[in-house]
Amino acid sequence: MSTIDALQWRYATKKMNGEKVSQDKVDQIIAAARLAPTSSGLQPFKVIVVTNPELKAKIQEVAYGQTQITDSSHLLIFAAWDKYTEERIRSVFARTNAERGLPESATADYLQRLLGIFGAQTEEQNFQHAARQAYIAFGVAITEAALLKVDATPMEGFETDKLDALLGLRERGLRSVTLLPLGYRDEAGDWLVNLKKVRTPLEDFVIRID
Amino acid sequence: MSTIDALQWRYATKKMNGEKVSQDKVDQIIAAARLAPTSSGLQPFKVIVVTNPELKAKIQEVAYGQTQITDSSHLLIFAAWDKYTEERIRSVFARTNAERGLPESATADYLQRLLGIFGAQTEEQNFQHAARQAYIAFGVAITEAALLKVDATPMEGFETDKLDALLGLRERGLRSVTLLPLGYRDEAGDWLVNLKKVRTPLEDFVIRID
């Protein structure tokens, strides 16, 4: 299936049937998210996987009762670094250089510039930057799920502070950004499945400036 | 090629060879971005396509001289709505309902709630939200380019205000968010192409909470 066909097939599933997604497919979706590009290769986010029904029920309570959370097979939570610290950034550069067999000096100038840029911004600005990187991976994961014919519902509608508290994310230096329940559509119970997919007309979506 | 293989193959190309990407492939990359999911289906961004060499040279000047901009075949610019206005949001809902053959009343409550949410936020908060939606499509477009074996360099490093002024984006109610030059790698001239791709180890990237 082409990406275009997969993206046409996918939709923000409103009702899932509880069927389990194979571990192999979940692994591929996570692998795709992990390979997504990020600013300076920092990957300033993590993917949290929840399958426990009781925990999903508690998450649903801070996500306006959306049933896909409990009817999903796996709930992915994209959570970004709450702040950029020198330690976090240095550790990414150290690992990258080590794996590439390069000395630390290979990236020393670049690293200093990067520390300067993030150091000049507020913690909140840096979190917003980290969150944007998580969104790239979110887009990649959504695409991969569709290619694997796994349904997924991209969600921003939840109480981030309450979810962070429920999962202890702040203690891990993370803040939740988006949710992605994975599962399979319940066609009979889903009001959206048969509605036409509507997008901005191509001629309005694209601007050619030359 | 699987998505995983494609994402392993791709990298932030540092040197492009000037070869032209076929219109068919560019169209598929844009089509994928257009199909990306967005919050409430608003698609609060556009993709700008630049191929003119003189204009690319001017853009390069506000993008720290990055050579991929001039050596690319097509430069895509993801630009988000500068603000959420009632008119913009109503227009998306009107089009969606019209294409689905639904009366406006079908989404009236949802629309009111949405207008309330965005109305309670600052213009800057709403722009940040729009920008995040553009990042989802950015991730989708990067994935599709890799699957088509088209090289692409995701870029945040440019002077957004200067680029907006150069392209007249603010007059169109847009603010530039990211760049994506498309083209083909110049293996001989690219210092990054043979370096190992490094990612956060899987066991650190994923957190299982159950």
pLDDT digits (tens, 9 = 90+) for A9-19: 999 999 999 99
Q: Does B54 touch chain A (CB under 8 A)?
A: no
How far apart CA B128 and CA B135 sit, in angstroms, is: 11
Q: Is the ipTM above a cut-off of 0.95?
A: yes
pLDDT by 10-residue block (mean), chain B, 210 residues: 96 98 98 98 98 98 98 98 98 98 97 98 97 98 98 98 98 98 97 97 96
Q: How confident is the model over A52-70, as pLDDT tens digits?
A: 999 999 999 999 999 999 9
At B188, phi and psi to the nearest 5?
-65, -30
- In whole angstroms, give the CA distance from residue A136 to residue A162: 24
**3-class DSSP assignment, residue B195:** coil
Percent of chain B's residues with pLDDT above 70: 100
Q: How distant is the Cα of A21 from the closest Cα of chain B, in angstroms?
A: 16
Partners of A167 on chain B (C-beta within 8 Å) are 209
| A positions 115-144 inside 8 Å of B (CB) | 128, 131-132, 135-140, 142-144
Mutate to test the interface with B, among A132, A155, A174 (most CBs of B within 10 A): A132
| Mean pLDDT within A136-155 | 98
Band the pLDDT of A210: cuts 50, 70, 90: confident
Contact A34, B198 (CB under 8 A): no
Strands A45-50 and A74-81: antiparallel
Indicate the length of chain B as a whole number: 210
Quote the pLDDT of residue B110. 97
Matching CATH number, B3-84+122-205, of 3.30.70.890, 2.115.10.20, 3.40.109.10, 1.10.10.10: 3.40.109.10
Is pLDDT above 90 for A200? Answer: yes
E strand or H helix at A207: strand A206-208
Give the DSSP letter of residue A184.
-
Instruction: Please enumerate in sequence order all residues whose Cβ is within 8 A of that of B88, keeping only pairs 6 or more positions apart, or say none.
Output: B42, B44, B81, B173
CA proximity to A19, closest of A172, A159, A167, A183:
A183
d(CA B174, CA A123) in angstroms, rounded, equals 26
Residue of A nearest to B198 (CA): A96
Tell me the C-alpha distance between A200 and B122, whole Å.
Answer: 25
Note the pTM of the prediction, 2 decimals.
Answer: 0.98
Q: Residue A1: its pLDDT value, please?
A: 86
Own/partner long-range contacts of B189-194 (Cβ < 8 Å, ≥24 apart) = B189/B15, B189/B17, B190/B13, B190/B14, B190/B15, B191/B14, B191/B15, B192/B11, B192/B12, B192/B13, B192/B14, B193/B11, B193/B13, B193/B14
First to last CA, chain B: 34
Report whether B111 contacts B58 (CB < 8 A): no
Estimate to the nearest angstrom the gap between the alpha carbon of A168 and the chain centroid. 18
In terms of CA atoms, which chain B residue is nearest residue A167? Answer: B209
Cβ contact, residue pair B4, A28, below 8 Å: yes
Check CB contact of B72 with chain A, cutoff 8 Å.
no
The two three-digit tokens of residue A62, written as one number: 């801070």
In the predicted model, what is the mean pLDDT of residues A119-139? 98
Nearest to B51 by CA among B12, B13, B28, B22: B22
What are the residue ranges spanned by the domains of chain B?
Answer: 3-84+122-205, 85-120
DSSP sequence for B81-147: ESS--HHHHHHHHHHHHHHHT--GGGGHHHHHHHHHHHHTS-HHHHHHHHHHHHHHHHHHHHHHHHH
- For residue A60, the SS3 value is helix
Q: Verify whether the Cβ–Cβ distance A136 to B137 is below 8 Å.
A: no
Is the CB of A208 less than 8 angstroms away from the CB of B143? no
**Per-residue confidence (pLDDT) for residue B153, from 0 to 100:** 98
Residues of chain A with pLDDT > 70, as a percent, come to 100
Amino acid type, A42 = L
> Would you state the pLDDT for residue A131?
98
Q: Note the pLDDT tens digit of each residue in A7-49.
A: 999 999 999 999 999 999 999 999 999 999 999 999 999 999 9
Q: How far apart are the first and last CA of chain A?
A: 34
Contact B206 A46 (CB under 8 A): yes
